[in-house]
């Protein structure tokens, strides 16, 4: 066990030196990978065991970015991050209480609508109350600072994911995912457990948005609430396999690099190729990369 921890810590430490090795573009790639790794891991935290497909990722991500945009001139940076987490937490609790009783496809639809709802609320507020739309973030951060902060957050996220898997809560969640009726019969407080996980997952997503926002300088609702972020998160997590600790990261790295390569080399056919890649993934790896590797390694015995 301690060996695994040592390995994990060592890997993070090694990654921390990336800014010394890569030039700006490489670092930009690393930022993208780490931020999607956190998003996918946070998404799997809740959606993996419960099997609730959430498309609300960008709602929290965008709120995090917005908190930074609103407060960046008035408060110290650590305080802003705290407020961002707090906002994500409160929002996810409010949303969770209202919706986690919804089942299956209704939850998917609601979570997709949530991002649009938040975006319209912020727009309404900015137009009618503050009278500006579009805010500036001038924080003295360079790419490497953002990268380091994201790396720390990634460490925290993986630690939380590992801890939950090995705790009673994780066990309870898996039971809920298998069969809610059984779960309630064995005395699991279903709503409370789901709510807890939803809130943790959402707070992490909020932080990713908050940390990444200084990279964009200018923010408006249509920029930060881009639904693509939600979709990519889901696809990456599903490719890797959301039921496993290392699943999400195994989906993020290949897909992120693939997207990057496609958009660099085929700027005019990107969307078509992307669709083709998705179809291939669903046909070739319906259960995720890790499952596939296992099946291959065990020579079909897993069947």
Partner 1 sequence: MTDRRRVLRTTAFAVAALTAATSLFTGQSIASADTVRIGYAVSKTGPNSAGTGITTIPNYVLWVKDVNEAGGLKLPDGSRRMIEVIEYDDRSSSEEAVRAVERLAVQDKVDFILPPWGTGFNLAIAPLMDKFGYPQLAVTAVTDMAPKFVQRWKKSFWFLGGGSDYSKALAEILGSAHKSGQINNKVAVVSVADGFGIDLIKSARPAFKEAGLELVFDKTYPLGTKDFNSLLTEAKTSGADTFVAFSYPPGTFGMAKQSKVLGFNPKVMYLGVGVGFPVFTKIMGPDVAGVMSLGGVDPNSQDFKDYAARHTAATTNSPDFWASSVTYASLQTLQQAIERVGLDRDAVAKEISTGEFDTILGKIKLEDNQLRKLWWTGQWQDGSFAAVSPNSRDGASSVVIPKPEWSQ
295 contacts 303 by C-beta, under 8 angstroms: yes
Query: Do 69 and 213 meet the contact criterion of CB atoms below 8 Å apart?
Result: yes
Task: Give the end-to-end CA distance of the chain in Å, rounded to a whole number.
Answer: 29
91 and 199 in contact (C-beta within 8 Å)? no
Interaction mask 37-76, partner 1, x per CB under 8 A: ----------------------------------------
Q: Phi and psi for 136 in degrees, rounded to 5?
A: -105, 145
299 binds partner 1 (CB under 8 A): yes
Tell me if 204 sits within 8 A of 136, measured CB to CB. Answer: no
125 lines the binding site for partner 1 (CB under 8 A): no
Please report, to the nearest 10 degrees, the dihedral formed by the alpha carbons of residues 279, 60, 173, 186 taken in order. -130
Question: Minimum CB separation from partner 1 for residue 272, in Å?
Answer: 10
265 contacts partner 1 (rule: CB under 8 A): yes
* Closest distance to partner 1 from the beta carbon of 69 (Å): 12
CB of 188 to partner 1, least distance (A): 39
Instruction: Please identify, among the stretches 9-17, 87-95, 151-159, 261-269, the one whose residues bind partner 1 according to the rule CB under 8 A.
Output: 261-269
**Per-residue x/- track, 202-221, partner 1 (CB under 8 A):** ----------x--xxxxxx-
CA distance 139 to 120: 26
Beta bridge partners of 219: 135
3-class state of residue 252 by DSSP: helix
- Stretch 104-123: interaction string toward partner 1, x if CB under 8 A: ----------------x--x
Q: Which residue from 16, 32, 162, 245 is in contact with partner 1, where contact means CB under 8 A?
A: 32
Q: How is residue 166 written in tokens?
A: 């090995």
Q: Which residues bind partner 1 (CB under 8 A)?
A: 23-29, 32, 120, 123-124, 126-128, 131-134, 136, 138, 212, 215-220, 222-223, 226, 228, 254, 257-258, 260-261, 263-265, 267-268, 270-271, 284, 296, 299-300
């Amino acid at each position: 066990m301690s060996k695994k921890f040592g390995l994990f810590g060592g890997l993070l430490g090694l990654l921390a030196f990336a800014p010394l090795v890569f030039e700006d573009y490489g670092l930009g790639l690393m930022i993208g990978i780490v931020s999607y790794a956190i998003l996918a891991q946070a998404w799997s935290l809740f959606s993996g065991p419960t099997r609730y497909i959430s498309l609300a990722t960008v709602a929290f991500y965008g709120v995090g970015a917005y908190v930074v945009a609103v407060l960046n001139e008035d408060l110290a940076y650590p305080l802003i991050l705290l407020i961002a987490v707090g906002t994500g937490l409160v929002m996810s609790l409010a949303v969770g209480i209202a919706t986690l009783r919804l089942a299956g496809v209704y939850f998917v639809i609601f979570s997709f609508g949530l991002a649009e709802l938040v975006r319209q609320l912020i727009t309404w507020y900015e137009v009618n109350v503050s009278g500006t739309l579009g805010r500036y973030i001038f924080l003295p951060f360079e790419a490497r600072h953002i990268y380091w902060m994201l790396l720390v957050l990634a460490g925290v996220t993986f630690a939380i994911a590992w801890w939950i898997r090995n705790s009673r809560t994780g066990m309870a969640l898996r039971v809920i995912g298998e069969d809610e009726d059984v779960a309630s019969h064995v005395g699991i407080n279903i709503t409370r457990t789901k709510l807890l996980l939803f809130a943790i997952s959402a707070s992490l997503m909020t932080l990713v948005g908050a940390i990444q926002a200084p990279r964009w300088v200018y923010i408006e609702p249509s920029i930060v609430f881009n639904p693509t972020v939600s979709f990519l998160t889901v696809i990456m997590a599903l490719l890797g396999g959301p039921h496993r600790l290392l699943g999400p990261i195994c989906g993020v790295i290949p897909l992120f690099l693939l997207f990057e390569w496609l958009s660099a080399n085929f700027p005019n056919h990107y969307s078509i190729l992307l669709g083709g890649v998705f179809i291939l993934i669903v046909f070739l790896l319906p259960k995720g990369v890790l499952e596939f590797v296992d099946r291959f390694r065990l020579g079909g015995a897993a069947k």
